[in-house]
A and B are shown apart, each in its own frame.
Chain A
């Protein structure tokens, strides 16, 4: 008999020869197509039923928190972006708002705020579209993936048109946004606003109430509201248990209190409820974008503080003082007074919080993430047992983890 005990260091799992056990330990991942990144789940199986699921993380750890401590406040926006790579602008918005609150900036121009809302909501739709496409593929439905990605491609094209980057835009700045939107942006946005609802209706027609979807999702991975709160769930996963908690409503930022939108909830607490909540959220995000487009105000896109925001390029070319400000900002950044703050935004995955500590210098002393995926994924330990091994795929998909954010 082969001694397998060297293959696990989990003392609960006995692989030594002769251990009387009816359970089988299966390592799922880290290179498994349906783990949405690099997740490894150690599954303890009794036949095809999961007895215990222990996710293992860290395969995508890139030390973003450490890197952010070693960059100027303004430079850190670029690494912060890389955590949740499906919704990079939510990360930067959270960080930028935290820095602004530490600086005491409360006069970010309306135009910048509206742009921030438009871009983060576009990101939310793009992120949910990736989730919808891949989640359905996990369950065996191929064609809607193309519908979803075609729509996402439109959003990425808008992003590229404005920021020059498809994925990691790093577009928000402490005190506003990097530049004003180019001419033609509003026309592209209008096109999207018109094109999105019919495509979302198509996707819903294919998937909602679909017999195969219902079979695979209803009653799978069920959690009640009390448990969901104990496990630290936020975002759609929490709202699928009926708890109407959305940071945009509870702690409005960037003018979200001025928009008219619903917070979709569902009482089922299972994979299908999470599916419904996300699909409806896409519609609400579209409504927010539409309202933001209607009000799109004029004016500047950054605050008028040369100690924080670099002067316009045209001014740098002929004004010595502007050049000095620019030089100081690039070479040594700016200081933020000593203090700490917890700032959170509603990312597509849930409450994304950052506990930012400043020691008074030109670099953040500490940027602590509250990654929503990290806590949502942890609940897999509670959701998976009792389900079939094929359902683990559905449950992971319905939690929508992004491993750039889980591992940072």
Chain B
């Protein structure tokens, strides 16, 4: 599939990126596509560091975002999406072109693990903690992987699709007693 993908015409700065990425990721490259918003590649966790080093050599020095998605009941279930942008420290013209690129990493369903990007970007720290907190995807090599939004003693990962909207904990009632779980809407 990768050889049929051509970069979007107005993404001149990333010409040559796809073949380089294919070479770097090797067997780990699942799919590549050129979409309306940006080019993207789907890879296995093992190829992440090689892919990221290729992207950095092409000037993708800004890690915009690390996010998670739960595709249950599809497999692979978890997706960790990385968005990169070519923002240069010497950028002085606001209209100069910026390229963006998305990596979609699909770890295994049982015990999902993805290598951490904290050694490349300090900004990956909190973003990876959030994905861990809300999806339970672990980041190998993260210096301090702990919950960030939910309380430290929380059980479960709320943004997983099998986690009910109203939560799993029993309702707190003033006076110390415990009430029933509130009914869900659907």
B158 interface neighbour in A63, A370, A381, Cβ under 8 Å = A63
| Residues A230 and B122 in contact in the complex (CB < 8 Å), given A245-B87, A342-B102 | yes
A244 interface neighbour in B91, B126, B165, Cβ under 8 Å = B91
Establish whether residues A242 and B148, one from each chain, have CB atoms under 8 Å apart when the complex forms.
Answer: no
Number of A-B residue pairs, CB cutoff 8 Å, is 124
Establish whether residues B36 and A232, one from each chain, have CB atoms under 8 Å apart when the complex forms.
Answer: no
Binary A-proximity of B47-77 (CB < 8 A = 1, otherwise 0) = 0000000000000011111011111000000
The distance from the CB of A402 to the nearest CB of chain B, in whole angstroms, is 15
Task: Report if A161 contacts B (CB, 8 A).
Answer: no
Establish whether residues B87 and A229, one from each chain, have CB atoms under 8 Å apart when the complex forms.
Answer: yes
Binary A-proximity of B96-120 (CB < 8 A = 1, otherwise 0) = 1110101000000000000000000
A58 interface neighbour in B37, B63, B150, B165, Cβ under 8 Å = B150
Establish whether residues B69 and A58, one from each chain, have CB atoms under 8 Å apart when the complex forms.
Answer: no
A355 interface neighbour in B61, B65, B159, Cβ under 8 Å = B65
A342 interface neighbour in B95, B100, B125, B148, Cβ under 8 Å = B100
Establish whether residues A244 and B93, one from each chain, have CB atoms under 8 Å apart when the complex forms.
Answer: yes
Chain B residue nearest to A228 in the complex (CB): B89
Establish whether residues A57 and B149, one from each chain, have CB atoms under 8 Å apart when the complex forms.
Answer: yes
A66 interface neighbour in B65, B130, B152, B159, Cβ under 8 Å = B159
Task: Report if B174 contacts A (CB, 8 A).
Answer: no
| Residues A368 and B149 in contact in the complex (CB < 8 Å), given A66-B158, A231-B122, A245-B94 | no
Instruction: Name the A residues within 8 Å of B147 (CB-CB).
Output: 58
Instruction: Name the B residues within 8 Å of A341 (CB-CB).
Output: 35-37
In the complex, A225→B49 CA distance in Å?
A: 24
In the complex, A379→B81 CA distance in Å?
A: 22
Task: Report if A375 contacts B (CB, 8 A).
Answer: yes
Task: Report if A251 contacts B (CB, 8 A).
Answer: yes
Task: Report if A328 contacts B (CB, 8 A).
Answer: no
Task: Report if A70 contacts B (CB, 8 A).
Answer: yes
> Could you tell me how many residues of chain B have their Cβ less than 8 Å away from some Cβ of chain A?
49
Binary B-proximity of A358-399 (CB < 8 A = 1, otherwise 0) = 010000011011100011001101100000000000000000
The distance from the CB of B151 to the nearest CB of chain A, in whole angstroms, is 7
Establish whether residues B148 and A58, one from each chain, have CB atoms under 8 Å apart when the complex forms.
Answer: yes
Task: Report if A250 contacts B (CB, 8 A).
Answer: yes
| Residues A342 and B38 in contact in the complex (CB < 8 Å), given A229-B87, A353-B65, A370-B67 | yes
A353 interface neighbour in B64, B70, B122, Cβ under 8 Å = B64
Instruction: Name the A residues within 8 Å of B102 (CB-CB).
Output: 342
Instruction: Name the B residues within 8 Å of A226 (CB-CB).
Output: 89
Q: Kindly list the 3 A-B residue pairs having the minimum CB-CB distance in the complex, ordered from nearest.
A: A232-B123, A225-B89, A368-B67
Residues of B within 8 A of A (CB): 35-38, 61-65, 67-71, 81, 83, 87-98, 100, 102, 121-123, 125-127, 130, 134, 147-152, 158-159, 165, 185-186
Q: List 23 A-B contacts (CB under 8 A).
A: A58-B147, A65-B159, A101-B37, A226-B89, A230-B121, A230-B123, A232-B127, A243-B89, A244-B92, A245-B91, A250-B94, A251-B98, A341-B37, A342-B83, A342-B102, A355-B83, A357-B69, A366-B69, A370-B83, A374-B130, A375-B123, A378-B123, A378-B125
Residues of A within 8 A of B (CB): 9, 57-58, 61, 63, 65-67, 70, 101, 224-226, 228-232, 234, 238, 241-246, 249-251, 263, 265, 341-343, 351, 353, 355, 357, 359, 365-366, 368-370, 374-375, 378-379, 381-382, 407-408
